[in-house]
Structure 1
Amino acid sequence: MDLLQFHRMRTAIQGSASPGRDTDLESVEQSLRDLLLRSGVFEDVEVGHTDDPDQLVIALCTFNPLVAEAEVARRLETIWRDRVSYPFWEAHALHVESEHVEFQAASRYSSRGHYVTVHLVAQKAPIPAQRVAVD
């Protein structure tokens, strides 16, 4: 889904539901943090939450420089779809560039339940410099 379509869907869900409470957001935060760290792809993971309805849960991380951006995007989608999002409804969009993957998502708990939104930015970790031998 492209970002424009996603933003339209996110706006629609925001108009028909309330944002999650702090405890809801903290649960999503914890799940996202744990899954990113356990994936073996992501490092330097920082996850928190805000009052901004467009990005209630925010995350910043780096990814292994040996992993292609397309694979990073696939992993993020799988983590979100299979383990983090609510089963009732979800939508997400990705923006992939060289050394950078941006993931935006929204999910609703039930037909009368709350929603959460996520904005995650993953940047390629730098490759450590080789040490030069000193004679």
Structure 2
Amino acid sequence: MTFEQDKRRLMAAGTPSDGDNLTGMSMDFDAYLFMSELFAHVEVRRTGDPDCLLVATCTAAPGATPTSVAEGLVDVWLRHLQYHHRSAHRLRQDAQKVYLDVVTLMSAGGIYVTGLIEAGWKRDGGDGPVVG
């Protein structure tokens, strides 16, 4: 089963998170990603779109490699952010960033959270992300 199929199945089994719960998850994304020490900057925003409720944009810390960032994102997701009932994730990478698409369901018939965590690298001149 693909990530998109898993995501649709989990979304159909619950309702989108909102209010205080989504605020709490947003705060958790911010705190746990920053505490990983892989990132010099983390920004989390709510989208209002049930297909991707949260987007976290991270700037990798100096010396962080694409491999360490990818492994770190998955570790933070699995250890600290996903609900324990059910979840799925997909790791992607291009020449500029590492991406982690996520979905998690609190309980059967409960709330779900969907999101995207993207991590990039700041150029020396500060004009955008680059892997390296």
Query: Which of 66, 72, 97 in structure 2 is aligned with 1:100?
Result: 97
1:81 aligned partner: 78
Query: Matched residue pairs, number?
Result: 126
Cα distance in 2 for partners of 1:65, 1:127 equals 10
2:10 aligned partner: 13
**Letter paired with 1:25:** L
Equivalent residues in 2 for 1:39-78, closer than 5 Å: 39-78=36-75
Q: Kindly indicate whether residue 21 of structure 2 is the aligned counterpart of residue 24 of structure 1.
A: yes
Cα distance in 2 for partners of 1:66, 1:128 equals 16
List per-residue Cα deviations over 1:39-96 (Å, max 9, x = no partner). 2111221102121111101111110242111110110111011101101011000112
Gaps of 5+ in 2: 127-132
- 1:128 is displaced (CA, Å) by 5.9
TM-score by length of 2: 0.87
Query: Which of 110, 114, 120 in structure 2 is aligned with 1:123?
Result: 120
TM-score by length of 1: 0.85
Contact 1:94 1:101 in 2 (8 A): yes
- Relative to structure 2, which stretch is displaced further, 32-41 or 119-128? 119-128
Gaps of 5+ in 1: 130-135
Q: Which has the larger radius of gyration?
A: 1
- 1:112 is displaced (CA, Å) by 2.3
**Cα 1:64–1:127, aligned 2, differ >3 Å: closer, same or farther?**
farther
Cα distance in 2 for partners of 1:76, 1:120 equals 8
2:129 aligned partner: none
**Letter paired with 1:40:** E
RMSD: 1.7
Q: Kindly indicate whether residue 52 of structure 2 is the aligned counterpart of residue 35 of structure 1.
A: no
